[in-house]
Amino acid sequence: MIKFRGIVWSIHPLFVLVMIASIVTGYFAELITLFGIVLVHELGHVIVARGYGWTIREVKLLPFGGVAEVEDTGGLPAKEEAVVVLAGPLQNVWMGAAAWGMGQLGWWDSEWAAYVLQANIMIGLFNLLPILPLDGGKLLQVVLSRSLTYHQMLTWGARISLLLSAGMVLYAFSPLFQGGGRGIQLNLLAVGIFLFMTNWTYNRHIPFLFLRFLTSRGTASTRHIIRGVWAQPIVVSQRHTVTAALRLFKRDRYHLIVVMEERGRILGILPEQQLVNGFLEDGKPDRAVCDLFM
């Protein structure tokens, strides 16, 4: 574990196992190359994120990329997150192109250049799979946030990731049913199990992640008001609970909560800060929205 420029860099145990296996089997040069590719990939994320002013606390390196722990993740603009996410795979593009060029010019051995090229292609494409916490999973959430509420985005991102990672685990066993004497794809199985367990934990932590989103709404709301934006109304009945209304919040939107009777008469309009503060201050999720007028 190393701390550099305020960011803690660590190596995930899964990567440690890969390193040990590579050293035992004599693939030390390939190990160093893989580590360098993963490090540059993650540096792409970090540099662009820091350029946006994000605060990154820790980066964990994995055999296929990394996981960055970012402060105020719930309040970050979707457009910025998409750019930061794509900055990682883009590093694999130029590294792969450079390796190919080195091989064509004869500056590198053709087999070694082909290995580095293939490693970058595999890491870049694997990271684009729509499974959290891979880059593709984060892009999936950005896309989902365009049409779904933030809570739905968290829920469906976890469900899709669980389904696909479970499919990866099952696919690792497919050679057993294809004949030819081939065995289980152990590398794919290990990664699939890791992703499934990660998303199982992520799914259980959705209430906490949603709470982080709500606590960041104060800063986001102030930013919206200063800049001036169109408010997106959320219409609820007087029987709606505070939690039910909060789960209608969308990312990158400023909301006005319109409380109405069944006959259509408006009882009142709440700015989103009042709804969020009312929830955070008393912590009563089943409290009726109309009680905030009292």
pLDDT of residue 180: 59
pLDDT > 70? residue 191:
yes
Tokens of 142: 């950005």
Cα distance between residue 82 and residue 140, in whole Å: 10
Rg over alpha carbons for the chain, rounded to the nearest Å, is: 23
More confident residue, 10 or 220: 10
The answer to whether 109 and 62 are in contact (CB under 8 A) is no
pLDDT of residue 26: 67
The model's confidence at residue 238, banded by pLDDT at 50, 70 and 90, is confident
pLDDT > 80? residue 110:
yes
pLDDT of residue 142: 94
pLDDT > 80? residue 270:
yes
pLDDT of residue 17: 74
Domains of the chain by residue range: 1-128, 133-215, 221-293
The answer to whether 62 and 18 are in contact (CB under 8 A) is no
Mean pLDDT across the chain: 84
Cα end-to-end distance, the chain, whole Å:
52
More confident residue, 65 or 133: 133
Report whether the peptide linkage leading into residue 285 is cis, meaning its omega lies within 30 degrees of zero: no
* Backbone angles phi and psi of 176, in degrees to 5: -65, -25
**All residues at 6 or more sequence positions from 5 whose CB lies less than 8 Å from its CB, including other chains:** none
pLDDT > 80? residue 234:
yes
Give mean pLDDT, residues 184-205: 88
pLDDT > 60? residue 4:
yes
Summarised one tens digit per residue, pLDDT across range 136-170 is: 999 999 999 999 999 999 999 999 999 999 999 99
pLDDT of residue 214: 87
CA distances from 92 to 51, 120, 133, 149, 285 (A): 20, 5, 18, 33, 45
The alpha helices in the chain, defined as continuous H runs, are 13-24, 28-51, 78-105, 110-127, 135-144, 150-172, 186-204, 206-215, 217-227, 242-246, 272-282
Q: What CATH superfamily classification does 221-293 receive?
A: CBS-domain (3.10.580.10)
pLDDT > 80? residue 294:
no
pTM of the complete model: 0.86
The model's confidence at residue 292, banded by pLDDT at 50, 70 and 90, is low
pLDDT > 90? residue 107:
no
The model's confidence at residue 72, banded by pLDDT at 50, 70 and 90, is low
More confident residue, 17 or 78: 78
Helix or strand (DSSP H, E) at 258: strand 254-260
